[in-house]
Amino acid sequence: MNFQARLTLATALLAALPLLAQAQLSSNISLTSNYKVRGQDQDSSKTRALKPALQGGFDYNFGNTGFYLSNWNSSVDWLSHNSLEIDLSGGYQFKAGGVDLDMGAITYLYPGNSAGHTTEVYGAASYGPFRAKYSHTLSRDYFDFAGATSGSGRTGRNTGYLNIGFARKVAPSVSVEASLGFTRFSSDIRNAGTPNFMDYSVGGVYHLAHGLSLSAALVGANKQAFFGPVNKSRIVVTLTRNQ
C-alpha cells in the first residue's frame, strides 16, 4: 500500500471514529407465556394456554447514521427437528418531517429444518402514537405454508403482511398498546386452500425499574377454525429485561 492509499485509509478511519464512539449495542431477554407470530402459536405440540418460550437478542445502532443490525432468538416447536428461531435483520431509520421511517430486511432461520426459512423486506412509519408496517416475502416459501421444500411446486413468494398499531403512555410507568394485522398469502398458497386472515393484539405494558417491563395482551387471529385449537385467542404475559 503506497503512502497516498495509507493516508486515504487513515483519513477515512479518523472520520469514522466519532460514529463508532456514538454506536450503541443493546440487549434484551424475555420469558413469555406463549409465543405467537401474527396471531399463530409457535408451539403446536401443546393445546394448553401456557407454552413458555425463552427469547432474547442484540441490537447494534451505528451512531447517528440511522443504520442498524439486529439479532433476536426464541424457542419454538412447530417444525420437526427444530426448537429454535433465529431472526437476523438490518435496516435504516430516518425522519421525514414529523414521521419516523424505517426500511430494512429480515431473515427468519430455523436450524435443523430449512422448510421454515423466510426472508422479507419491510417498511414502517410512525407518527405520534400510531404506526404502520408492511412486510413482503422475497424467499421461495413463507414459513412452510407453500410446502416448497417438500416439492409441492408452490411458492410463498409475494405474501404480504400489513400491521397497524397504536401505543400511548397513560401513566408514568404504564402504556397501552393495540394492533391489527392482515396476512395476504401468495396466490399459490390461497389456491391450495389456505385463506387470508387477520390477527390482533390488545394489552398494556408496566415499566419497572432497571430496564424491566411486564406486559399482558390478548392475542389471536380470526381463523382459529382452520388453524386448529392451538391457535385460540390467549392472554400472553411477557417479562422483559432491556439493557
Is residue 198 pLDDT above 80, yes or no? yes
pLDDT at 20 over 60: no
Structural domains of the chain in order of their starting residue, each with its CATH number: 25-242 (2.40.160.40)
User: Which residue has 503506497 as its cell numbers?
Assistant: 2
Distance CA 66, CA 215 (A): 28
> Is the pTM above the cut of 0.75?
yes
Contacts 24+ apart (CB under 8 A), 193-202: 194/145, 194/226, 195/223, 195/226, 197/39, 197/221, 197/222, 197/223, 197/226, 198/39, 198/222, 199/38, 199/39, 199/40, 200/39, 201/177, 202/177, 202/178
- Closest of 218, 224, 210, 211 to residue 237, by C-alpha: 218
| Mean pLDDT in residue range 125-150 | 97
pLDDT, mean over the chain: 91
CA distances to 44, 143, 161, 189 from 148, rounded to whole Å, are 20, 10, 20, 10
Q: How far apart are CA 36 and CA 231, in angstroms?
A: 9
Section 20-30 average pLDDT: 85
Dump pLDDT digits (tens) for 46-60.
Answer: 888 899 999 999 999
* CA end-to-end distance (rounded Å), the chain: 42
Confidence at 11, pLDDT banded by 50, 70, 90? low
63-107 confidence digits (pLDDT tens): 899 999 999 999 999 999 999 999 999 999 999 999 999 999 999
CA distance 79 to 144: 9
Q: Which residue has the higher pLDDT, 169 or 225?
A: 169
